Chains A and B, each alone.
Chain A
Amino acid sequence: MGTIAKIHDMLVSKQCSCAELTKSYLDEIEKANSELNAYVNITGDEALKTAQAVDKKIAGGEEIGLLEGVPMTLKDNMSTKGIETTCCSKILTGYKPIFDATVWEILKGQNAVMLGKTNMDEFAMGSSCENSYFGGAANPFNTNHVAGGSSGGVSSAVGGNIAAYGLGSDTGGSIRQPASFCGVVGLKPTYGSVSRYGLIAYASSLDQIGPITKSVEDASIVFDAISKQDKRDSTSKGNVGGETFSKLNNDIKGMKIGIAREYLDGVRDDVKEAVLAAAETYKSLGAEIVYFDLPVLKFALPVYYIIACAEASSNLGRYDGIRYGYKTEHYTGTHDMICRTRSEGFGEEVKRRILLGTYVLSAGYYDAYYKKAQDLRGTIISAFNKAFEQCDVILAPTVPMTAFEKGHAVSDPVETYLTDICTVPVNIAGLPGVSIPCGFNANGMPIGMQLIGKSFGEATILNAAYKYQQAAPEKFIDTKWGVKHKNKNILRLHHSVRR
């Protein structure tokens, strides 16, 4: 049983009230957050208010939904009405949206208890969470290591058990990579299955919101809840592939699981071994492993950085110090005010990506970079379509390595970009991908693998992921504990919600 269903059972059977549960999470956050830095804004009062409303329903004998009263978190790039939403950037400090992102509107409507907003690389640009204006989030397995990025805060919170689940966003791996680093499950849905309305844009043709959870069941429950068509996002189609939860336990005998050799190039040995061991597990479950080549993958990373930066340079044009957020104090005219506001408000990596995006879109370079990258995007999509003629699901490492030590990522931008090599192809092709834990390295740091599906094939990849979780439950976080908790009473309450 996943964490969400366990909490639901606890609430319904009145083992504890929702207010008590929420209070215990908030107490845990207070103790663990100084070390993890997962939360950048804790919304305790709002959380307890929702919890009391849920308790009132339960006391009145009303039925409650599965997500009702479950303490969770949102990455700080999802708009929350009246609650500061900063994208972990100085330029958005103090910004309080006047509307809710569609995903939050849906979950709030189901009385989800939001504990707070979580840390991220500024504007979701980064792979370690260290580009956050508030400093990076730490890895719950070893706090000297990074949580990964950009949804580092959500992953750290879920991995450290200071949120039952959370929503992240994934533009080039920002859900799957930190999920892999923190030993949790992260689902990047098909482009268009979850509304992006209210998600502060990084690269609009790549961004997608998805769940970060402790178990595959939880990812399925949350995905089914949030994948709704939304007229406010013209690229949203809803859950075209149908609900996923009832299909989790389908037999995978005969399922063809493909491994593209290029995905294993340059991957560290411990990671490669863990992924190939998972392939053996799949064989024992009756699946067939098919090897094939996907040579175009070697162009995926530059294609990603060109397209993402081009779109970012346009999306981030809106930050001008006039309508919201930070504004410089001293200036000599309007142009000077805007330039100073942006130069003081954006961090180094964000500025670098805006400049790169402006460069590849400028006259003289547009054809050589942006247009060529868009052409290759079509080539990569065709290559994936061909691959899916040979297999149902593609198995690959999520990241070529495990979580690195803090401070390691900042020195060389190109080297840092290479950590995204296994995750970006999915965003380029708009496909769904889920990262699940598949082992630990010699230092006890989690290793993740991803299962990639056809467009709107979430049910298939979650089915394959669930079968693996059943076969190898020891790889999943419920049996591993990252942060030391000192208060025994709360530990007991938390233990009772774990497997």
Chain B
Amino acid sequence: MVTREDVENIALLSKLFVPEDELDGLTKSMQEIIDFADAINNAPSGGEGFDNINNLSNVFREDEVVPSYPSEEILKNAPEQAEDHFLVRNRE
């Protein structure tokens, strides 16, 4: 059972605001999706488990220092920047 409080809590964890007037609608649609997802709890467990696709395994390499992108290029996409850093203000 998905409650309004659940939705408020996961919205906080997701760093999303849900306006008060959308909360009931969203709770209802979340409940419908969760009911649909609940179908898997009727599935017989094959016990195979899952740890990779197509036998892919971890790729290891030496930790070598290689050139990266210039910081001024990276910062061009930042909404705000100052002195070669991303700028985050605590107030607008």
Contact = CB atoms under 8 A, between A and B. Distances in A.
A393 B76 CA distance: 49
Interface in B32-90: 32-34, 36-41, 43, 45-50, 53-54, 56, 58-59, 61, 69, 73-74, 76-80, 86, 88-90
A362 B14 CA distance: 11
A352 interface: yes
Nearest to A427: B53
Given A191-B54, A322-B79, A417-B36, A356 B30 contact: yes
B39 A302 contact: yes
Contacts of B78: 322-324
Given A342-B15, A372-B40, A323 B6 contact: no
Residue from A302, A313, A317, A325 whose CB has the most chain B CB atoms within 10 Å:
A302
Nearest to B53: A430
Contact of A377 (B14, B50, B77, B86): B50
Contacts, number: 166
Contacts of B47: 375
A484 interface: no
A344 to B, nearest CB: 9
A375 B29 contact: no
Q: Which DSSP category, helix, strand, loop or mixed, fits chain A's interface?
A: helix
B45 A358 contact: no
B77 A325 contact: yes
A360 B48 contact: no
Contact of B34 (A191, A343, A359): A359
A227 interface: no
Interface stretch (A93-101, A274-282, A486-494): A93-101
B19 to A, nearest CB: 9
Interface residues of B, number: 50
A332 B69 CA distance: 33
A234 B59 contact: yes
Interface in A431-469: 455-456
Interface string A270-306: 0000000000000000000000000010110111011
B77 A324 contact: yes
Interface residues of A, number: 73
Contact of B46 (A327, A331, A379): A379
A302 B36 contact: yes
Interface string A302-328: 110110000001000100111111110
Contacts of A23: none
A375 B46 contact: yes
Contacts of B86: 322-323
Nearest to A417: B36
Contacts of B18: 343
Contacts of B74: 98, 323
Contacts of B59: 231, 234
Interface stretch (A14-22, A58-66, A180-188, A333-341): A333-341
B41 to A, nearest CB: 7
A333 B92 CA distance: 7
A373 B14 CA distance: 21
Contact of A430 (B2, B14, B33, B54): B54
B29 A413 contact: yes
Contacts of A237: 54, 56
A270 B88 CA distance: 57
Interface string A415-437: 00100000000000110000000
Contacts of B39: 298-299, 302
Interface string B6-33: 1100110111111000000010011011
Residue from A205, A378, A456 whose CB has the most chain B CB atoms within 10 Å:
A378
Contact of B32 (A323, A337, A351, A413): A413
Contacts of B32: 413-414
Contacts of A205: 53
Among all A-B residue pairs, the 10 with the closest Cβ atoms: A379-B46, A378-B48, A430-B53, A378-B50, A327-B79, A324-B77, A234-B59, A343-B17, A377-B50, A302-B37
Interface of A: 94-96, 98-99, 190-192, 205, 231, 234-235, 237, 296, 298-299, 301-303, 305-306, 313, 317, 320-327, 329-335, 337-340, 342-343, 346, 351-352, 354-356, 358-360, 362, 368-369, 372-379, 381-382, 413-414, 417, 429-430, 455-456
